[in-house]
Structure 1
Amino acid sequence: MGNALFYHLTRSAAEQLLPGLIGKARQAGWRVELRGIDPARMARLDDLLWQGDGFLPHGLAGGPHDAVQPVLLTAAADARGGVGADCLIALDGAAVDPAECAPAQRVCVVFDGNDPAALDRARGQWRSLTGAGIAAEYWSEAGGRWERKA
């Protein structure tokens, strides 16, 4: 059973964190699902990942090769429920069911700490996952670099 890592963004945007998270997951040999809630945002992230410094092979959900994509960008409406993903990265409050954590190596919840609604959603996700027995870690960048807080 994988653990859940919560990333509390306060100084940077998700766009700065995601390539590193995805890159580390790929180095571990994991298939990744990056799940958001807005298809337009996922399309922008698709562009960003192609234009970044490193090569992160990926695709947007809805194509003929979804099942074999090493990194699949999904929106809540087309999320595949973590099926086949070793690492699920939830962005912008995308739902994560505790049952998805069991087969995954890792679940990452990335949230904007400057948005009170995002904080409330992340707290709810923390309670839901830890209440189901999922080990969770809280990471903060408030001090200027990423530090594990809990």
Structure 2
Amino acid sequence: MADVGFYHLTRTGADEALPVLLGRTLDAGKRAVVRCATPEDAAALDEALWTVSEPVWLPHAATGGAYPERQPIWVTAEGDVPNAATFLFLAGITDVPKVEGFERVFDLFDGRDEEAVAAARLRWTALKEAGHTLTYWKQEPKGWVRAR
């Protein structure tokens, strides 16, 4: 079973929150796949990750990029995991994802969008019923707070 963390974004978008989480993932020696809602979202995130200043550099590629098996971070709008990632990041996803085979899942959703919040609640219920371990994190003015 996967450990699934729901990340309720209240002050930034996923494009700002993801670099910090992905940097920590790389620091832990893990590989990640970031699944976006649309190919356009994946392309925009791919571009944004090249320009982040903190962490200094996030080596990655997106669907269609070279050497996918070598990439520590893979950005996609598909279900592909060519880099053998054990961490899955969901950005803007509305359906219930397949999380089998992943050690950790990070579900980032926009708390300022009622449809996104409603979709996150449905994913929470489905993943809990499937037996996964769930945690809920809410973005605060400085950092994250885990709700119990």
Aligned to 1:39: 39
Matches within 5 A, 1:54-73: 54-73=56-75
Over the aligned positions, Cα root-mean-square deviation in angstroms equals 1.9
Aligned to 2:28: 28
Note the C-alpha offset of 1:7. Answer: 0.4
Kindly provide the CA deviation profile for residues 23-59 of structure 1, in whole angstroms up to 9, marking residues without a partner as x.
1111111110000011112111111111111110000
Aligned to 1:74: 76
Note the C-alpha offset of 1:105. Answer: 2.0
Question: Does the CA-based 8 Å contact 2:94-2:116 persist in structure 1?
Answer: no
4+ residue stretches of structure 1 with deviation over 6 A? none
Aligned to 2:104: 106
Aligned to 1:118: 116
Question: When you count helix as a share of all residues, which structure comes out higher?
Answer: 1
Give the counterpart letter for 1:116 in structure 2. E
Instruction: Extract unaligned runs of 5+ from structure 1.
Output: none
Q: 1:140 aligns with which of 123, 138, 141?
A: 138
TM-score, normalised with respect to structure 2: 0.89
**Secondary structure, counterpart of 2:8 in structure 1:** strand
**Secondary structure, counterpart of 1:30 in structure 2:** coil
Change (3 A) 1:64 1:15: closer
Note the C-alpha offset of 1:64. Answer: 4.0
Change (3 A) 1:81 1:60: closer
Question: Does the CA-based 8 Å contact 2:11-2:141 persist in structure 1?
Answer: no
Q: 2:129 aligns with which of 119, 128, 131?
A: 131
Q: How many residues align?
A: 146
TM-score, normalised with respect to structure 1: 0.88
Instruction: Extract unaligned runs of 5+ from structure 2.
Output: none
Note the C-alpha offset of 1:145. Answer: 3.1
Note the C-alpha offset of 1:12. Answer: 1.3
Provide the C-alpha distance between the structure 1 equivalents of 2:97 and 2:39, rounded to a whole number of angstroms. 20
Aligned to 2:48: 48
Question: Does the CA-based 8 Å contact 2:31-2:72 persist in structure 1?
Answer: yes
Note the C-alpha offset of 1:11. Answer: 1.3
Identity %: 35
Note the C-alpha offset of 1:92. Answer: 0.4
